[in-house]
Amino acid sequence: MTDTQAAPTAVPAASAATGVAVVTGVSALAPGGIGTADFWDALLEARSGLGAVTRFAADGFPVRVVGEVAGPETVPGVDPRLAVQTDRWSQLAMVATDEALHDAALDPAALPPYDLGVITASSSGGNAFGQREIEALWSKGPRYVGPYQSIAWFYAATTGQLSIRHGMKGPCGVLVAEQAGGLDAIGQARRTVLRGDARVVLTGGTEAPLSPYALTCQLASGLLSPGADPQRAYLPFDEAATGHVPGEGGALLLVEDAGQAAARGAPRPYGEIAGYAATFDPPPGVRPGGGPTALRRAVEGALADAGATPGEVDVVFADAAGSPDLDRAESACLAEVFGPRGVPVTAPKSLYGRLYAGGAPLDVVTALLALRHQVIPPTSPYVTRAAAHPIDLVGRARPARLRTALVVARGYGGFNGAMVLRSTPPTDSHRIPKGRVR
């Protein structure tokens, strides 16, 4: 236990429950910002983390710009004994988990192991690890394939590693729905806490989709930007939009019942997970009954789940696909729900790329930081909103009175997710430990 953590108070599982799920610890790993404080500073200063591929020769790929987390292939801070067993994607999650636990002043060993759960999201698994082992198979033979190939590539590998490492034996799982999967994981974590199936759930997602094999798979979607200029390659809601830039990173966070968090002496929560909904797109060209789109139903479902009206939403963190058709569909949805230019909309991911399963959890953390600091982080300054998009796109950091935020996420193949977050006021029972991001 660190010097910023207080000894936990033993509280019976049902004694302090309030039925409100809150986020008590956050983390952030992204191109241009490692750790929550650095990430937030980079966003407010609109520092881009996009650049050329550096980890392998990418001359034969039509993708010229990506978002890499700085540092060697093995993530610093990961035990070398675990590094040989895991893909970079899992290693990023390990580092993020350490930050989230410290931020929440939570020592997992102080709680019964079956009170702790792990629910993450993944869209590509351990692709770099898998490629390396398959190359060994066809170039040298089966004797050169390591034993960890059987588990390190699998989507659930990160959940398993975190569960084992921190003794979290409660409800565990993984959601696979590309970018929307990050919201699905957090939504399931919220459900798990509110049903009393776990006291604390570690949730979110990370991604490391920048190996040759992973990029090859992504090219099949036709949605990656071919742009060579890091400042102009990813331009959501811009007339010059040509696709998105893939990136690595993400966020893990701690979800608890508000009453139980206060009873154990947790710091002030970042906010409440107030509402969540998910939908799936119909086949192309089909709009059953002429009703609202699946994306709009997800947004309205999340608002209904939160008991909120559109007028209560102070900011929207957009999915921001960077594809002209997908951008038009999203901006039309937001205009239908909130009115043309009816709510500030921002897309900070334009500064560091789409992180797939790690992107939505990082948007959730960003939204919570915005609620905490009362400022909307900007979209890339190189984005110019096209007239076809009737939204109030935030182009520079904007101070604002923020209480409620909406996060929108879509995944390739038709997945849609939306999540409503509310700020939580400070109380006397919430101490502020030294070094916590405020």
pTM of the complete model: 0.93
DSSP helix/strand/coil, 375: strand
**Residue 376's Cα: distance from chain center in Å?**
17
Alpha carbon of 60 to those of 55, 63, 65: distances in Å? 14, 9, 13
Residue 389 has phi, psi (to 5 degrees) of -110, 105
317: enclosing H helix or E strand: strand 315-317
370: closest CA among 345, 352, 340, 341?
A: 345
CA atoms of 35 and 9, how far apart (whole Å): 28
Rounded Cα distance, 434 and 214, in Å:
40
Per-residue pLDDT tens digits for 43-95:
999 999 999 999 888 888 999 999 999 888 888 888 888 889 999 999 999 99
Q: What is the pLDDT of residue 17?
A: 77
Beta bridge partner(s), residue 118: 172, 202
Q: Where are the domains of the chain?
A: 21-263, 275-422
CA distance 299 to 279: 9
CA distance 2 to 105: 8
**CB atoms inside a 10 Å sphere around CB 48:** 21
- Give the bridge partners for 255, in sequence order: 23, 201
Sign of CA dihedral 392, 393, 398, 401: positive
CATH number of 275-422: 3.40.47.10
Contacts of 376 by beta carbon, 8 Å cutoff, 6+ apart: 315, 344, 346, 370, 394, 397, 398, 399, 400, 402
pLDDT of residue 289: 62
Give me the residue label for tokens 């604390």: 200
Q: Quick one: which H or E segment has residue 97?
A: helix 88-103
Residue 104 CA, distance from chain mean position: 18
Q: Which CATH superfamily is domain 21-263 in?
A: Thiolase/Chalcone synthase (3.40.47.10)
- pLDDT < 50: residue spans in the chain: 1-13, 427-438
State the CB neighbour count (10 A cutoff) for residue 2.
11
Spatial distance between the Cα atoms of 30 and 66, rounded to a whole number of angstroms:
12
Cβ-based neighbour number of residue 14 at 10 Å: 10
178-194 and 359-373 helices cross at what angle (nearest 10)? 60
Question: Where on the phi/psi map is residue 237: left (φ > 0), alpha (ψ -120 to 50), or beta?
Answer: left
Question: Strand, helix or coil at 388?
Answer: coil
Distance between CA atoms of residues 243 and 222, nearest Å: 8
CA separation for the pair 179, 247 (Å, rounded): 12
Q: Residues 217, 60: contact at Cβ < 8 Å? A: no
Q: What is the pLDDT of residue 292?
A: 86
Report residue 262: phi and psi, to 5°: -65, -35
Half-sphere exposure (Cβ direction) of 437: Cα atoms closer than 13 Å: 26
* Common-topology check for domains 21-263 and 275-422: yes
How many beta carbons lie within 10 A of that of residue 13, not counting itself? Answer: 14
Looking at residue 124, what DSSP letter applies?
Answer: S
pLDDT of residue 431: 38
82-138 pLDDT, tens digit each: 889 999 999 999 999 999 999 999 999 999 999 999 999 999 899 998 999 899 999
